[in-house]
A and B are shown apart, each in its own frame.
Chain A
Amino acid sequence: MAEYNSAAIEEFKDIWVFCEQRGGKLMNTDFELISEGRKLADERGSKLVGLLLGSGMEETAKELGGYGADKVIFCDDPALAVYNNEAYTKVICDVVMEKKPEVLLIGASNIGRDLGPRCAARLHTGLTADCTHLDIDMDKYVQFLSEASTIDLSTQKFDMEDTNLKMTRPAFGGHLMATIICPRFRPCMSTVRPGVMKKNVFDEAKAAACEIEVIKPGLDEAALKEKVLEVVKEAKELVDLIGADVIVSVGNGIRKDPEKGIALAKELADAFGGGVVGSSRALVDAGILSPDHQVGQTGKTVHPKVYVALGISGAIQHKAGMQDSELIIAVNKSEIAPIFEIADYGIQGDLFKVVPLMIDAVKAAKAAK
């Protein structure tokens, strides 16, 4: 193996993105990260390289070029077809040590968050978790702070020549944001929250022109300590409130037509990219939804990225379970409903009329992206 010293920072070049595949298919996060990586590579004046591990995916790999990758390094081995921490860590650390990228981004999926810390520890470098914003250019970072923080920038001094990757992430359930740097070691690593970075428009010509470098690591599968016995895909259970990124909850406001109300809530959750239906206690007490839907003091405490309250008054016991959600949207007929006091966005209106319009508008906004 090549000589490796993560502190020899001037030897490290290029922006890399680890591209995750499941079942031989690239993930949406890969395209988001490649698009973000393109922006960073342009700020840094360097190349953008996708790192893909799998088996027989040369053709698929080219697709990454369509979102901005100059090149894809494809590590091809039957033992890499299915994610295996031991095999993936070894292969990634070996190529990183040999080729020395300056930045390595990884999607913060369950797999990325298993893999990233292990690789960072082996490479002797830092890893910033679950980032939602990245900058290299200091002007752009200061601009970002002016929009996204309460910092008084007139009292701050910045080194405008700084070329460290500035990685910003929410902590403490979104109450605090932290920008983290890794000044002394390379690569500078970050896991990036899925669904946050904007995807570029796919460019067919660039995809066709994308350079693919194939590496054959020649793994001895039998020698791996970790054995993956099976991978099972399943439709998610309906009420996984705790793990859900999006929760659309319904309350007494749907009593006029509960079936319709619940169907609208599901449809809205789907429009957001998938989520689960929650409920106030009123509907649980009335036997309309089962107790595992209940959010609140005597139900579940949730912190989804988006919480939508449809026809829920916002009693203190309900708020106790959802007020720390990252973003709260409320629809209620009554303009004095207490739920509006904690909602980021409030819409006064009849949910049976408003929700179908919301579903259309969300779908249209997504299609326009």
Chain B
Amino acid sequence: MKIYVCVKQVPDTTGKVAVNENGTLNRASMATITNPDDLNAVEAALALKDQVEDAKVIVVSMGPPQASSMLKELLAMGADEAVLISGREFGGSDTFATSQIIAAGISHLGLTDEDLIFCGRQAIDGDTAQVGPQIAEKLNLPQITYAADIQKDGKTVTVKRALEDGYMTIQVPMPCLITCIKELNEPRYMSVQGILGYDQKPITVLDYEALKDEPLIEPDTIGLKGSPTNIFKSFTPPVKGAGRMLAGTEKEMAEELAACLAKKHVI
């Protein structure tokens, strides 16, 4: 059994976020981390591997060569293999093109009815939560998002899927794609053995040459050119954190606050 886990290296937006004057993110000034939800996805895969004989956990990332530092950490955490999909042709992809490329990579590596794909629910930079479902569509697999509990029984998976007002329990046949949320588990740390042993484990790089014969890879479905969405403008909102002390009697302040919130559609 192969368990693929899609992982993304992201700037750490939990600290201070640096924005350039032209409204783009100043990535160079920010630390990078493994996308938090993706650690839950890796943990889910490792937990399943602990239960099933002959399971192999393969972490897959599309990104620049620097992403291999993250992949090494995940190998130290217990993943068996790592795959880095990297190439200039893939740059500038929106979620449609990103999922097209990752799906092609997984097809290339091979997917059978013994296998599973895990993703995080959402990346903290792009913030779309679209890549998981779109990989599932490109590979024609059933999908379950917002997984808060995962049970595998033979070639069937049963998942508790979180909703705003409760949950639903869904059953699908394998192979399938599941996106993971924080509530699913507590990711383990790298182990001493893992840290000592990770450099024995392979990191395979798949570039455009390696994937170009995959049916999903066409010049007009990948990269900036293959992306249906374009960023028209990006900008910073004006008052962030500026802070305003309200004035007047307590009642007046409360009313002014409510009026401001209503104007901003917060209430």
B129 touches A129 (CB 8 A): yes
B25 touches A232 (CB 8 A): no
Bound state CA distance, A89 and B134, in angstroms?
12
Given A85-B143, A229-B171, A242-B182; A179-B254 close (CB under 8 Å): no
Nearest B-chain residue to A368, judged by Cβ:
B262
Bound state CA distance, A368 and B262, in angstroms?
10
Interface range for B: 35 or more
Given A122-B137, A181-B229; A171-B125 close (CB under 8 Å): yes
B250 touches A349 (CB 8 A): yes
Given A110-B162, A126-B228; A358-B257 close (CB under 8 Å): yes
Given A110-B146, A346-B243; A360-B254 close (CB under 8 Å): yes
A149 touches B230 (CB 8 A): no
Would you give the shortest CB distance from B265 to chain A, in whole angstroms?
5
Nearest B-chain residue to A234, judged by Cβ:
B166
Interface string of B95-138 (1 = CB under 8 A from A): 11001000000000000000000000000111111111110111
For residue B154, CB closer than 8 A to chain A, the reply is no
A180 touches B17 (CB 8 A): no
A130 touches B128 (CB 8 A): yes
Would you give the shortest CB distance from B37 to chain A, in whole angstroms?
11
Given A347-B253, A358-B254; A176-B169 close (CB under 8 Å): no
Given A182-B228, A232-B166; A176-B19 close (CB under 8 Å): yes
Would you give the shortest CB distance from A6 to chain B, in whole angstroms?
8
For residue A218, CB closer than 8 A to chain B, the reply is no
For residue B172, CB closer than 8 A to chain A, the reply is yes
A residues bordering B, Cβ < 8 Å?
22, 82-83, 85-86, 89, 109-111, 113-114, 116-118, 120-122, 124-130, 145, 148-151, 164, 166, 170-185, 195-198, 225-234, 236, 242, 271-273, 301, 305-306, 323-324, 327-329, 335, 340-349, 353-354, 357-358, 360-362, 364-366, 368-369
Can you name 13 A-B residue pairings with CB atoms under 8 Å? A85-B144, A127-B128, A149-B235, A150-B235, A173-B13, A176-B234, A225-B173, A231-B167, A272-B266, A347-B245, A361-B255, A365-B259, A365-B261
